[in-house]
Amino acid sequence: DTGVSQDPRHKITKRGQNVTFRCDPISEHNRLYWYRQTLGQGPEFLTYFQNEAQLEKSRLLSDRFSAERPKGSFSTLEIQRTEQGDSAMYLCASSLVSFSYNEQFFGPGTRLTVL
């Protein structure tokens, strides 16, 4: 079990550019979550998947954001036309839906800086 991995770990981009992040969950975990964390705040929910189905999107997820999990394994989060306000740590987590085991395990995050 290698844990949740995210790529890249850091991304610096210029305003207006598109960026894409990848998350690989713990194998056999069927739920995958994306959160965003800004400095000094707790993580805020963006969206989550059950296998390949996107179950919910937060109001924080503007039209410039899109996420997918095409084969129910890894997921990508794309931000189009980045803005300085998008600068944050983007966290991915995964969990296994069961009666007694529901902790979400987090990856190391992708830190985005928009110049």
Partner 1 sequence: AQKVTQVQTEISVVEKEDVTLDCVYETRDTTYYLFWYKQPPSGELVFLIRRNSFDEQNEISGRYSWNFQKSTSSFNFTITASQVVDSAVYFCALSLHSGNTPLVFGKGTRLSVIA
Give me the residues paired with residue 76 across strands: 22, 68
Position of tokens 């009666």? 99
74 binds partner 1 (CB under 8 A): no
Number of chain residues interacting with partner 1 (CB under 8 A): 26
Query: According to CB under 8 A, which one of 7, 26, 45, 87 is a site residue for partner 1?
Result: 45
Residue 94 class from Cβ within 10 Å (0-12 exposed, 13-18 middle, 19+ buried)? Answer: buried
Nearer to partner 1, 14 or 59 (CB): 59
DSSP code of residue 85: G
User: Which residues here bind partner 1, judged by CB under 8 A?
Assistant: 31, 33, 35, 40-45, 48, 56, 58, 89, 91, 93, 95, 97, 99, 102-109
